[in-house]
Amino acid sequence: MTVRPHLSAFATLCALAAAGCPAPSPGELTGTVESHTLSSQSVGDDYVLTVRVPPGYDAAGAHPVVFQLDPYLGVLQEFALTASYASQLEADGVIEPTLVVGVGYPEVPGPIEGRFRDYSLPDANGDTLGLGSGGAPAFYDFMHDELTPWLEDHYAVAGPSDRALFGHSLGGLFTMYAALQHDQDDPFVERFVVASPSFWYDSGSIFQIEQAYADEAEDLGLDLFLADGLYEGPEMTVYTDAMAERLAARGYASLSLTVQRYEVDHVRSVEPCFREGLEHHFGGAR
Amino acid sequence: MKRVAFAVSLALSLGLPTTALAAEPPDDTAASRAQGPMLELSLAPLYGFGGARHGFGGQAGLGMFSPLWQGEGSTGSLELGLLLGYDHESYGRSDRFLGEGQVDGGTHRIEALLLAGPGLRLAAMPRVRSSLQLYGGWVQAFMHAQLDNELQSISGDYEVSVGVFSTGLALTHRLELAQRVGLDLQVRAPFPMVPAAITSYVFASLGVSVGL
C-alpha cells in the first residue's frame, strides 16, 4: 500500500501549516521593512524581496546579511521569525544590526509552487515524487549572480564572510546544495543554516552532489550550522546524521560544522534552528 | 431483526457482552431515550491518518450520558467519556517520502483521553444520537525504525519515545440498533492542528457500544 498520491497534498499541508496551527511568536520586529521586486534572467521570473533594515543602519557601513528562504510560507512566516529574533539579539547586544532579506514570490507562482520549483534538485534518481521541477541550479545562479550584486548596490552590506543563507525543509535542501556549490574564489555567502533539510529528496541525491564536490575540491571554506528535530522521523534524522558524518570525514581544513538536534517536530524546528543559527553565525560564537 | 443480528455479530467480533442485545425492539421516541444517566461501554477498530502515514488499531471507551433538557423537536444531553486507544503506524506501509523498502519499523501510539461535551437527539431521527466533545489527554508514541538507502550507502536506526498532552474534538454519531446497543461512528481530530506534530493524527472508528 502506498500513500504517494497524497504526498503532494501533504507537502502542501505542511507548507501551509494549516489554518489552526498556532504560529510561532518570536516577538517584536524592530527597524523598517522595505519591499522590492527583482526580475531574474536565470529563472525567468520575478522575486519579491522583503528587506528588514535594522535600527542603527549605517548607509556607509557594512552590515551582516541573512538571506531567508521561504519568507512567507503559511503561518511559519520565516522572514518575520528570523527578523524578530535578529531584533531581540540586537537589543540584547548579542549581534550587530543585521539585514534580513526575504527571497519571496509574487502571487504567481506563489510561495508553494515557487519553492518546489527553486529548491528542488535536478532529477538524478527518478524519485522526485513529482514534488519539484529541479530548478535549484537556476535559483542558485539568481542568488549568486543577480540578487547579491543588486543587494550590494542598494544596501550597505558586509562581505560574504558575514552573510548567511537560512533555509528550512526543502529550503534546507537548497541551502545544503548552495553550500556544495561553494566557490572559494567567488562566494556570495559563507555561512549557512541548514534546518530540517529534505535530504530524502530523490533518494538522497544531495549525497551524490556532496560526493561530486569532494571529488573536485580539497577544502570547503564555510561555516555550516546543520540542525533538525528529534521527532521528525527517520527520513530526516538518519539523513542529517549521514551528511554530518560525511562532511566531518572529509577532513576539510576550513569547514566549520555545527550539528544540533532539538526535541521538536518538523514545523517547530524553525524556531530553535533560526534563533541559534543567528547566534552561532553573528553572535558570540563568531 | 437484521440490525440486531448485525449488532450481535459486531459485538461478538469485538468481544463485547451480548446480553444487552436480547432486549425488546427499541422504543422509537426521543422522549423514551431521554432517561438516564446511563453508562456505556464501547469498542471499535481504529484507523488513523496523519503526516502522510496511516495506522490501524483499536479503542475502548467508557462513557456516561445524562439528559440535560427535553424539547418537542429534540433532546439534549451531557456526554462524558474515558477513551483508551492504540494504533500502529507502519513506516513500511506508508514510507513517507522514501523509496520502496528504504525504511522498516513504525510508531506505536497509546492514548488515554477524557472527553466531555453536549449530545443531541432529534425527534425526527430518534434512533440517532450525536455528540461533539472536547477531549484532552496523554499521547505516548514509541517510534522505532531502521532506514537503509543502498544507493547512497546510508543506514541508521531511529529510536524515540515521546509523550505529549493532546487536545481536540470528537464527533460521534450513534445509531441505536437495539434498546441498549449502538453502532458508533466517531471521528476525532487534534485542535489546534499542527502539521507534522506528534499529535497530528486524525482518527476514525466504527464500532459498537453497549449500555451497562
Domains and CATH numbers, chain A: 30-282 (3.40.50.1820)
Find the closest chain B residue to A263 by CA distance: B162
Q: Give me the pLDDT at residue B25, please.
A: 47
Closest listed residue to residue A231, CA positions, set B107, B49, B149: B107
Report pLDDT digits (tens) over B158-205.
999 999 999 999 999 999 999 889 999 999 999 887 766 788 889 999
Report pLDDT digits (tens) over A117-154.
999 999 999 888 777 889 999 999 999 999 999 999 99
Residue ranges of the alpha helices (H) in B78-201?
none
Is residue B122 within 8 angstroms of chain A, CB to CB?
no
Decide: pTM greater than 0.90.
Answer: no
Chain B stretch 64-83, residues whose beta carbon is closer than 8 A to a beta carbon of chain A: none
The grid cell for B124 is 425526527
Q: Rounded CA gap, B193 and A75, in Å? A: 12
- Amino acid, single-letter form, for residue B131: S
Radius of gyration of chain A (CA): 18
Q: Taking the CB of residue B3, how many other CB atoms lie within 10 A of it?
A: 16
Q: Give me the pLDDT at residue A11, please.
A: 44
Q: Give me the pLDDT at residue B22, please.
A: 45
Find the closest chain B residue to A234 by CA distance: B158
Look at residue B116 and tell me whether its pLDDT is greater than 50.
Answer: yes
Report pLDDT digits (tens) over B60-103.
999 998 988 888 889 999 999 999 999 999 887 655 567 666 88
Q: Give me the pLDDT at residue B33, please.
A: 55
pLDDT over 90 for what percent of chain B?
A: 57
Identify the bridge partners of residue A261 per DSSP, sorted by sequence position.
A228
Q: Rounded CA gap, B101 and A257, in Å? A: 31
B34 pLDDT band, cuts 50/70/90, is low
Residues of B in contact with A238 (CB under 8 A): 147, 154-158
Name every residue whose Cβ is closer than 8 Å to that of residue A258 and which is 6 or more positions away in sequence. A223, A224, A225, A226, A280
**Are the C-beta atoms of residues B176 and B129 closer than 8 Å to each other?**
yes
Q: Give the DSSP H or E segment for A99.
A: strand A99-104
Is residue B206 within 8 angstroms of chain A, CB to CB?
no
Residues of A in contact with B193 (CB under 8 A): 18, 20-21
Identify the bridge partners of residue B108 per DSSP, sorted by sequence position.
B88, B142
Identify the bridge partners of residue B203 per DSSP, sorted by sequence position.
B48, B188
Average pLDDT, chain A: 90
Phi, psi of A21 (to 5 degrees): -70, 125
| Chain A interface, best mutation among B91, B96, B97, by max A CB count within 10 A | B97
Look at residue B24 and tell me whether its pLDDT is greater than 50.
Answer: no
Distance from CA of B196 to the nearest CA of A (A): 6
Max distance between CA atoms of chain B, in angstroms, equals 70
DSSP string, A192-209: EEEES--TTHHHHHHHHH
The grid cell for A280 is 552561532
Residue ranges of the alpha helices (H) in A161-200?
170-179
Q: Give me the pLDDT at residue B31, please.
A: 52
The grid cell for A105 is 514570490
Q: Give me the pLDDT at residue B4, please.
A: 47
Secondary structure letter of residue B197 according to DSSP? S
**Are the C-beta atoms of residues A62 and A248 closer than 8 Å to each other?**
no
**Among B151, B156, B191, beta carbon nearest to A203:** B151
Is residue B162 within 8 angstroms of chain A, CB to CB?
yes
Q: Rounded CA gap, A206 and A8, in Å? A: 20
**Among B94, B145, B197, beta carbon nearest to A265:** B197
Q: Rounded CA gap, A2 and A129, in Å? A: 12
Residues of B in contact with A198 (CB under 8 A): 97
Q: Give me the pLDDT at residue A177, please.
A: 98
CB contact under 8 A, B149 and A203: yes
Give residue limits of the domains in chain B: 1-30, 35-211
Q: Give me the pLDDT at residue A32, please.
A: 97
**Among A18, A198, A208, beta carbon nearest to B193:** A18
Q: Give me the pLDDT at residue B2, please.
A: 52
pLDDT over 90 for what percent of chain A?
A: 80
CA B44 to chain centre: 7
Site of grid cell 546579511: A65
Fold observed for domain B35-211:
Porin (2.40.160)
Report pLDDT digits (tens) over A179-195.
999 988 999 999 999 99
Rounded alpha-carbon distances, angstroms, from residue A4 to A84, A128, B14, B144: 37, 11, 32, 22
Look at residue A168 and tell me whether its pLDDT is greater than 50.
Answer: yes
Q: Rounded CA gap, A97 and B24, in Å? A: 79
**Among A6, A7, A21, beta carbon nearest to B192:** A21
**Are the C-beta atoms of residues A136 and A122 closer than 8 Å to each other?**
yes
Name every residue whose Cβ is closer than 8 Å to that of residue A150 and which is 6 or more positions away in sequence. A38
Report pLDDT digits (tens) over A6-34.
344 334 434 443 333 444 556 799 999 99
> How many CA atoms does the CB half-sphere of B41 hold within 13 Å?
9
Distance from CA of B55 to the nearest CA of A (A): 12
**Count of A-B CB contacts under 8 Å:** 107
**Are the C-beta atoms of residues A167 and A269 closer than 8 Å to each other?**
no
In this predicted structure, which of A16-25, A109-118, A231-240, B44-53 has the lowest mean pLDDT? A16-25
Site of grid cell 531584533: A87
**Among B95, B99, B147, beta carbon nearest to A238:** B147
In this predicted structure, which of A13-22, A250-259, B34-43, B170-179 has the lowest mean pLDDT? A13-22
Q: A206 vs B73, which has greater pLDDT? A: A206
Q: Give me the pLDDT at residue A108, please.
A: 86
DSSP string, B42-56: EEEEEEEEETTEEEE
Q: Give me the pLDDT at residue B192, please.
A: 81
